[in-house]
Amino acid sequence: MNDSAQPEAAATPALSISGVSHSYGTRRALADVSFDVPPASFTALLGLNGAGKSTLFSLITRLFGIQAGHIGIFGRDIGQAPGEALRLMGVVFQPRTLDLDLSVAQNLLYHAALHGIGRRDARARSDEVLARIGLADRAGSKVRDLSGGQMRRLEIARALLHRPRLLLLDEATVGLDVKARADILGHVRQLVAAQGISVLWATHLFDEIISDDNLVVLHQGRVLACGAAAEVLARAGAHDINSAFMRLTGLQSGSLAP
């Protein structure tokens, strides 16, 4: 990053959500949601299934139009300057969208072409992101021969091809075993530490959050708490994420699905 970009990165949130509400007919999915994702940070969006996480991601990525409120990506309003805003963002959605019959490298080159990246540059970028995500030795493998965790890492590599400054991941570890989940989390946290990428990580799993993270607790479409995870715990009078979540939502541990 050049020096002229540093003041902006220091002062402007990577993602700013302000007063966002959304309804499906008479059902309110989000109600006056507001929070920021600081630059070069790992921010966890914690909520049970149905809390509104996927709806919020659909609004940020413009799959849905914004009914109320504003969303900005590094100061670019996605309603007023959608192209410029979306170019700053990479996304990994919960459903997998890889072509299983193409190789790892072919999946990346196809995605690069969709972004208008020339073939020579695309090959260089593909090599770069595969090395960054630990898949350089699988470039020629068909995607169907990868493990579930490797497929997720490939989707992260694909989302990084156009060199975004903000990475959104919606329940990226669903269906993975404990080791694969830890591996994905480790890679994403390393992107934040080493590359300065900003991350919004949506999850319903308490153990994916650590005290150094920024934390947003979303429940029934409303933000119940946000800030440094350690501070959220302190304000809730809790010693761990699980207990803090229960106190904030008023739920009992037995009311959660296993």
- Map out the domains of the chain as residue ranges: 3-88+164-255, 99-163
Burial class (CB in 10 A: 0-12, 13-18, 19+), 134: middle
For 90, the token pair is 């990479």
The confidence score (pLDDT) of residue 251 equals 80
Domain 3-88+164-255 CATH class label: alpha beta
pTM (whole model) above 0.75: yes
The CATH superfamily holding the domain 99-163 is ABC transporter ATPase  like domain (1.20.1580.10)
Q: Cα torsion for 102, 106, 109, 114, to the nearest 10°?
A: -10
Query: Pick from 194, 207, 99, 205: which is nearest to 151 by CA?
Result: 99
Q: How far apart are CA 138 and CA 127, in angstroms?
A: 11
Residues of the chain below pLDDT 70: 1-10, 252-258
The confidence score (pLDDT) of residue 115 equals 87
Q: How far apart are CA 84 and CA 94, in angstroms?
A: 24
Query: What does DSSP assign to residue 162?
Result: T
For 126, the token pair is 């593909």
Query: Pick from 254, 256, 236, 252: which is nearest to 244 by CA?
Result: 236
The confidence score (pLDDT) of residue 10 equals 52
The confidence score (pLDDT) of residue 9 equals 44
The confidence score (pLDDT) of residue 252 equals 63
Dump pLDDT digits (tens) for 208-238.
Answer: 999 899 999 999 999 999 999 999 999 999 9
The confidence score (pLDDT) of residue 255 equals 47
Query: What does DSSP assign to residue 8?
Result: H
